[in-house]
Structure 1
Amino acid sequence: MSQRKTEATTLEAWWFATGNIANNLIFMLITMFLMFYFTNVMGLDPVVAGTIFMVARLVDALTDPIMGMIIDRTNSKRFGKYRGFIHFGAPLLGVVVVALFTLPNLDMTGRIIYAYVVYIIYSLCWTVVQVPQLTIPIIMSNDIAKRTKFQAIFQGVGSIGAAFTSALAMKIIGGAQNMMDPAAWRRVAIIFAIIATVGFEISTLAVRNLDVYDPNAKEKAEAARRKAEAEKIPLKERMAFLTKNVALFALLISFGTDMFANQINSQTNTYFFMYNMNGNTNLMSTLSALSLPVSIAMIFLAGPLVKTFSKKNVIVACEIVGIAASLVIWLTKAKNIPIFMGASACSTIAFAICNLMCRTALLDVSSWTKWKTGVEASGLMASTFTFMNKLMQAIASFAGGVLLKMIAFDASLPMQSTETMDKLLTMRVLLPIIAYVCTLIAMRFYPIDKAGEQQLQAALNNME
Structure 2
Amino acid sequence: MKKLNKLSIIGYGAGDAANNLAFTTATMFLLVYYTDVAGISAAAAGTLLLVVRLFDAFADVFAGRMVDRAYSKRFGKFRPFIMFGSIPLLLLSVAVFSVPQLGESGMLLYAYVTYAALGLAYSLVNIPYGSLAGAMTQDPGERAKLGSARLVGALTVSSALGIFVAPLIKPGADLQQTFTTITLIFVVIGTALYFFTALTAKERVHRAVPKVTMKQSLETLKTNKPLMMLCLSSFFFLTGYLALTSVQLYYLRDVLGRLDLYPVLSIIQLALTFVLAAFMSRLVRTVGKKNVYIYSSLGTVIGGVIIFFTPASQVWIGFSGLVISLIGVLAVNIGVWALEADTVEYGEWKTGVRTEGITYALFSFTRKSGQAVGGALAAYALALGGYKSGGGAQTPDAIFGIQVAAGALPAVMVIIPVLVMSKYKLTDATHAEILKEIQARRTKTAYAGPVEANTADGTTSTDGTTLAASASTSAGLSAPAEARNPAGQ
Category of TM-score, reference length = shorter chain: 0.7 to 0.9
Q: Alignment partner for residue 417 of structure 1, among 392, 395, 416?
A: 395
Name the CA distance, whole Å, in 2 between partners of 1:159 and 1:413: 26
Q: Write the mapping of 1:62-141 to structure 2, written as runs, cut at 5 A.
A: 62-72=58-68, 74=70, 82-141=78-137
Give the 3 Å change call, closer, same or farther, for CA 94–413 of structure 1 in structure 2.
closer
Question: In the alignment, residue 251 of structure 1 is paired with which amino acid?
Answer: L
Q: Write the mapping of 1:200-349 to structure 2, written as runs, cut at 5 A.
A: 200-207=194-201, 210=202, 240-241=222-223, 245=225, 247-278=226-257, 280-349=258-327
Q: TM-score, normalised by structure 1?
A: 0.82
CA RMSD of aligned residues (A): 3.4
Q: Indicate the SS of the match to 1:177.
A: coil
Give the 3 Å change call, closer, same or farther, for CA 112–12 of structure 1 in structure 2.
same
- Is 2:151 aligned against 1:155? yes
Name the CA distance, whole Å, in 1 between partners of 2:10 and 2:256: 37
How many residue pairs match? The answer is 435
Q: Deviations over 1:208-233 (max 9, x none)?
A: xx589xxxxxxx99x766x979xx66
- Is 2:406 aligned against 1:428? yes
Of Structure 1 and Structure 2, the greater helix share is in: 1
Question: 1:62: how far off?
Answer: 1.9
Name the CA distance, whole Å, in 1 between partners of 2:46 and 2:62: 25
Name the CA distance, whole Å, in 2 between partners of 1:399 and 1:307: 37
Give the 3 Å change call, closer, same or farther, for CA 77–317 of structure 1 in structure 2.
closer
Does the 8 Å contact 1:46/1:402 carry over to 2?
yes
- Is 2:415 aligned against 1:437? yes
Q: Which has the higher contact order (CA 8 A, sep 6+)?
A: 1
Q: Alignment partner for residue 183 of structure 1, among 174, 177, 182?
A: 177
Question: In the alignment, residue 101 of structure 1 is paired with which amino acid?
Answer: F
Give the 3 Å change call, closer, same or farther, for CA 37–71 of structure 1 in structure 2.
same
Unaligned runs of 5+ in 1: 1-5, 213-219
Name the CA distance, whole Å, in 1 between partners of 2:425 and 2:67: 34
Name the CA distance, whole Å, in 1 between partners of 2:233 and 2:73: 42
> In structure 1, what is the equivalent of residue 478 of structure 2?
none
Question: 1:377: how far off?
Answer: 7.4
Question: 1:429: how far off?
Answer: 0.9
Name the CA distance, whole Å, in 2 between partners of 1:179 and 1:438: 41
Q: Indicate the SS of the match to 1:24.
A: helix
Give the 3 Å change call, closer, same or farther, for CA 376–206 of structure 1 in structure 2.
closer
Give the 3 Å change call, closer, same or farther, for CA 21–178 of structure 1 in structure 2.
farther
Name the CA distance, whole Å, in 2 between partners of 1:438 and 1:147: 26
Question: 1:177: how far off?
Answer: 3.3
Name the CA distance, whole Å, in 2 between partners of 1:75 and 1:248: 24
Question: 1:427: how far off?
Answer: 2.9
Unaligned runs of 5+ in 2: 441-489
Q: Deviations over 1:257-312 (max 9, x none)?
A: 1111110011111222232233x333222212212233223333223212322333
Question: 1:365: how far off?
Answer: 4.5
Give the 3 Å change call, closer, same or farther, for CA 139–344 of structure 1 in structure 2.
same
Q: TM-score, normalised by structure 2?
A: 0.78
Question: 1:82: how far off?
Answer: 4.2
Name the CA distance, whole Å, in 1 between partners of 2:192 and 2:378: 33
Does the 8 Å contact 1:253/1:438 carry over to 2?
no
> In structure 2, what is the equivalent of residue 457 of structure 1?
432
Does the 8 Å contact 2:151/2:333 carry over to 1?
no
Does the 8 Å contact 1:40/1:180 carry over to 2?
no
Give the 3 Å change call, closer, same or farther, for CA 361–71 of structure 1 in structure 2.
closer
Give the 3 Å change call, closer, same or farther, for CA 148–329 of structure 1 in structure 2.
closer
Of all paired residues, the percent bearing the same amino acid is 23
